[in-house]
Amino acid sequence: MTKPHPAYVERDIHVALVCDHRERMFLEAGHDPGTLRTMTAHFGPWLREQIERGGYFGRVVEIGGEAVASIGLMAIAWPPHPMHPSRVTESPR
């Protein structure tokens, strides 16, 4: 196994970073900047609550204090479906 870069830091996901990345992703896809600012203003509080509940989680990799990679995942409670009619997945609490 190779040793990580000496300035490599891995940490839990950060709300402001996720909001920024998400807004920039939609901006690059051609969405209206004003609409995205409104979306982000509402997404931030939602995201913070989801992280606290365990419904959203992720990791950030930083080198020299700069985020160079990240991932965010949502835990989704899926209802019964024709592919799995009796399975019920519980929501995180």
CATH of 8-74, one of 3.40.50.300, 1.20.210.10, 3.40.50.720, 3.40.630.30: 3.40.630.30
Residue 22 CA to residue 34 CA, distance in Å, equals 14
Give the domain ranges of the chain: 8-74
Residue 3: what pLDDT?
63
Count CA atoms closer than 13 A to 6's CA, side-chain side.
0
- The answer to whether residue 25 scores a pLDDT higher than 70 is yes
Residue 4 CA to residue 91 CA, distance in Å, equals 36
Phi, psi of 88, deg, nearest 5: -125, 125
Residue 38: what pLDDT?
97
pTM: 0.69
Neighbours of 13 (CB within 10 A): 17
Give residue-wise pLDDT tens across range 35-92.
Answer: 999 999 999 999 999 988 889 988 888 888 888 888 889 998 878 888 877 766 555 5
CB 35 within 8 A of CB 72: no
